[in-house]
Structure 1
Amino acid sequence: MTEKPLPFVSVIVPVLNGMPTVQALLEGLRSQDYPADRWELIVVDNGSTDGTWEVLQQESEINSRMRVLHEQRKGPSAARNAGIEASRGEILAFIDSDCIPGPSWLRELVSAFEDRTVWAAGGLLKSAAPTTLTEAFAARQEILNQEDFFKERPYKPPFLLTANFAVRRAVFKRVGFFDETLRVGEDADFCWRILDAGGKLALVRKALVAHRHRSNLRSFARQMFLYGVGSATTFARHRELIGRSAWVDVTSYRCWIKALMKALLYPLIRRDPYLRREGMLELVRYSCFIAGRFVGSVRNKVVCI
């Protein structure tokens, strides 16, 4: 009996000014144990000005399965959509340019689709070894915990981050592409459209990638603010699926109060240099996230604070 061949997979990577991380990503992709003739790599540059485009061009000259595209429409959703349109795969896998996949990442992620009821799947994101205090804090706090996002909450159904994600090609015909008006929260929006259409999501714990967190306080604060805006925006769009017309997240305010106390007390009572600053970083995290939710609520005329 002839064994059924593995599905052909298109790996799609959106990138913008990815010089600090893209080489490690490409090396990780070169090391995949998925059969070389059963997948292709599509990297979509979104207007890099730091030399990323040149590096990608050089890599594509020596990697026959790799294609590099340039997408003028701004945003990760536009870049991913351009990759989808150019792809040939039965399964489309997505990974971000600041991630490094383990050697069995693609094989493990694709294995979820042996279950024909699964429409999309996601793997885990582990923190890369931190090189700055901000990265160490994000790693300690598990900012991008895929298992946590996959849990259903009172104000949100489960979803999966597109930094480690795969979906059947046919799904895009059912629910549409990624929403290019969203700069953050597009992964939740896409997954909730899948659920609204009766589809099923799966979490693959063996599909591992290492993720490099924001390296400085300014970029981390902006990320948390945008997460807040995206949280309110996706809530506004999917209130019927969520089953709520408004949401006041008491937990976030409790965390903010706790962070404020730590920011005031830890510099006085802690000796460890990291712990002395942990409260301040937590205060930045929750202050920016809550502020983003207020802004998102005003923009979308909804109460999600």
Structure 2
Amino acid sequence: MTLPHGFVVALDRRTRVLDGGRALLGGTPTRLLLLTPRARALMTGRTLSVRDRAGAVLADRLLASGLAHPLVTELPPNDAQGSVTYVIPVRDRADQLDRALAGIRATTADAPVIVVDDASREPAPVAAVAARHHARVVALPANLGPAGARNAGLREVTTPYVVFVDSDIVLAPDTVDVLLRHFADPAVVIAVPRITALPGPDAERWLGRYESVRSSLDLGGQPAAVRTGTPVSWVPSACMLARTDGLLKADGFDAAMRVGEDVDLCWRLTADGGRVRYEPAVYAAHEHRVELVDWFRRKAVYGTGAHPLARRHPDNIAPAILAPWSAALLVALLAQRRWSLPAAGGLAAVATVSNARKLQGIAHPLPQAARLTALGTLASLTQGTALLTRHWWPLTAVGCLASRRMRRATAVAAVADVALETLGRGPNPIRLDPVRYAVARRLDDLAYGSGVWLSALKGRSTAALRPRIVWPARPRSPLPRERAGRRTAARPRRTPTA
């Protein structure tokens, strides 16, 4: 299966074009891709439009490495718009269901819609709402949870594509049509929009404002290939468009999981070679929880998915993924001794030299290596901050009782966390004062971390709490350009910052 003619990809905003277009540096994990003259001729600035087999091979490689993403606005409309079935799992919540169905019918009047009633306590209102919007109801005799309810709906789907929509979601008019364009790539199994806050009075409350910029379901404004170990390692099933046969082949969602079933599905599909795309050019609005107790409880529930995921995917669930040098750098800084800063600087210097050796295929590798090391250091500090304030907060609290250094490190981590997030918003400022934002951020961490620890204690395992150290591959000689055959670029090389 190859990408069709007319398929357009654009380099990721973080991908750097080096040596006049001879090399590309970026992706996750970081790769150096050396392009032959033939491959360079296929590029137009930072975009590539597939016109022949060579272009399809190069575009596929760029997508697989995370160096580029489909330019969805330039892709032709998918001719399968009439081949979509909507599946909505619901338990009670008839008012939200009415709103969700109204949004769907405003976009498409005749698409099949299946409402899966997951053993509602009051099924009559749900059935009445579904009938008013000409939706079919599949009533379950026992409560199966979101995963089981979606599977029940999936088994009734006869169209090539299925859209899972939660009852507290309101679809934008063009969301499904735009997501369908991703399926021109035959490897794509799932495409998901950005989940934003549903406008309304609740969104203006302080937790509503926090959720509008820090929701667990909002994965940011940049497109991404969804893969483990990357900034977007999963996508929520609150709104998800998928190939019906691809999900059936994967046996759908894991019905034994009441939470984290979407993470598990993404990881299983990508492990089997499927592609999952996150597309923030379109969105679905979600009614966030804004009552403090309900909100806190839900964040903790998200955390309880950690141990079930660790049992199914032990290599993917680590709360932090660090290179040996960056792990040592964190330990040195946490020690807060006189030798800490010199040691951290020495480790960064060694990493820079190592990176420069990996970049010998380009001119002036040292500046690029220093940049990679700086980015790797920042990423490591961010992960270390999350360990202290989120994943390991019970240990941090105990440490703060006994150690002044731990108290100092925790205070710095908590303040730096909020400062970096605030400064990093750019043109999208946080609509909440720093104090209340900081309080909500720490409560978020406490809730999620509590859920992780509860699941670990229940499962009698620390797998979901242990960081993973990624050791670099054995050094290889500098990569040559590849000239022969139909292939268009040299093999990518991973750098030690991955």
Following superposition, the deviation at residue 245 of structure 1 comes to 11
CA contact (8 A) 1:17 1:48 kept: yes
Q: CA 1:9/1:59 → structure 2, altered by over 3 Å: closer, same or farther?
A: same
Q: Deviations over 1:90-138 (max 9, x none)?
A: 1111111111101112212222212212111111111112053322222
Q: 1:181 maps to which residue?
A: 256
Q: 2:384 maps to which residue?
A: 250
**Structure 1: segments with no counterpart, 5+ residues:** 263-271
Cα RMSD (Å): 3.1
Distance in 1 between residues matched to 2:193 and 2:166, nearest whole Å: 13
Q: Deviations over 1:4-23 (max 9, x none)?
A: 65451111111123245223
Alignment of 1:11-22 (within 5 A): 11-22=86-97
Alignment of 1:7-156 (within 5 A): 8-32=83-107, 34=108, 36-37=109-110, 39-49=111-121, 53-64=123-134, 66-71=135-140, 72-129=142-199, 130-147=203-220, 154=229
Distance in 2 between residues matched to 1:207 and 1:106, nearest whole Å: 9
Q: CA 1:260/1:135 → structure 2, altered by over 3 Å: closer, same or farther?
A: farther
Q: CA 1:4/1:132 → structure 2, altered by over 3 Å: closer, same or farther?
A: closer
Q: CA 1:282/1:67 → structure 2, altered by over 3 Å: closer, same or farther?
A: same
Whether 2:453 is the aligned partner of 1:294: answer yes
Following superposition, the deviation at residue 275 of structure 1 comes to 4.5
Q: 2:60 maps to which residue?
A: none
Q: Which has the larger radius of gyration?
A: 2
CA contact (8 A) 1:260 1:283 kept: no
Alignment of 1:134-283 (within 5 A): 134-147=207-220, 154=229, 158-240=233-315, 242=316, 250-256=384-390, 257=410, 275-283=434-442
CA contact (8 A) 1:247 1:304 kept: no
- Segment drifting more, 275-284 vs 7-16: 275-284
CA contact (8 A) 1:124 1:204 kept: yes
CA contact (8 A) 2:310 2:464 kept: yes
Following superposition, the deviation at residue 74 of structure 1 comes to 2.6
Question: In structure 1, the residue corresponding to 2:217 is in which secondary structure?
Answer: coil
Distance in 1 between residues matched to 2:175 and 2:232, nearest whole Å: 25
Following superposition, the deviation at residue 283 of structure 1 comes to 2.1
Question: In structure 2, the residue corresponding to 1:304 is in which secondary structure?
Answer: helix
Q: 2:11 maps to which residue?
A: none
CA contact (8 A) 1:101 1:210 kept: yes
Q: Deviations over 1:132-189 (max 9, x none)?
A: 3322222232332234896656488722111121111111333212111211100010
Distance in 2 between residues matched to 1:261 and 1:195, nearest whole Å: 34
Distance in 1 between residues matched to 2:317 and 2:296, nearest whole Å: 30
Q: CA 1:292/1:61 → structure 2, altered by over 3 Å: closer, same or farther?
A: closer
Distance in 2 between residues matched to 1:167 and 1:220, nearest whole Å: 29
Q: CA 1:169/1:259 → structure 2, altered by over 3 Å: closer, same or farther?
A: farther
Distance in 2 between residues matched to 1:207 and 1:164, nearest whole Å: 11
Distance in 1 between residues matched to 2:257 and 2:442, nearest whole Å: 26
Q: CA 1:208/1:245 → structure 2, altered by over 3 Å: closer, same or farther?
A: closer
Distance in 2 between residues matched to 1:259 and 1:286, nearest whole Å: 16
Amino acid at match of 1:250: G
Following superposition, the deviation at residue 197 of structure 1 comes to 1.1
Amino acid at match of 2:160: E
Following superposition, the deviation at residue 253 of structure 1 comes to 3.4
Distance in 2 between residues matched to 1:109 and 1:176, nearest whole Å: 23
Question: In structure 2, the residue corresponding to 1:146 is in which secondary structure?
Answer: coil
Q: CA 1:173/1:141 → structure 2, altered by over 3 Å: closer, same or farther?
A: closer
Q: CA 1:282/1:18 → structure 2, altered by over 3 Å: closer, same or farther?
A: same
Question: In structure 2, the residue corresponding to 1:31 is in which secondary structure?
Answer: helix
Question: Under a length normalisation based on structure 2, what TM-score does the superposition of the two structures give?
Answer: 0.52
Amino acid at match of 1:143: S
**How many pairs does the alignment contain?**
287
Distance in 1 between residues matched to 2:271 and 2:279, nearest whole Å: 21
Amino acid at match of 1:294: W
- Segment drifting more, 184-193 vs 225-234: 225-234
- Segment drifting more, 120-129 vs 223-232: 223-232
Q: Deviations over 1:168-224 (max 9, x none)?
A: 111133321211121110001011110111111112233311111112111111111
Q: CA 1:42/1:255 → structure 2, altered by over 3 Å: closer, same or farther?
A: same
Q: CA 1:4/1:108 → structure 2, altered by over 3 Å: closer, same or farther?
A: closer
Question: In structure 1, the residue corresponding to 2:305 is in which secondary structure?
Answer: helix
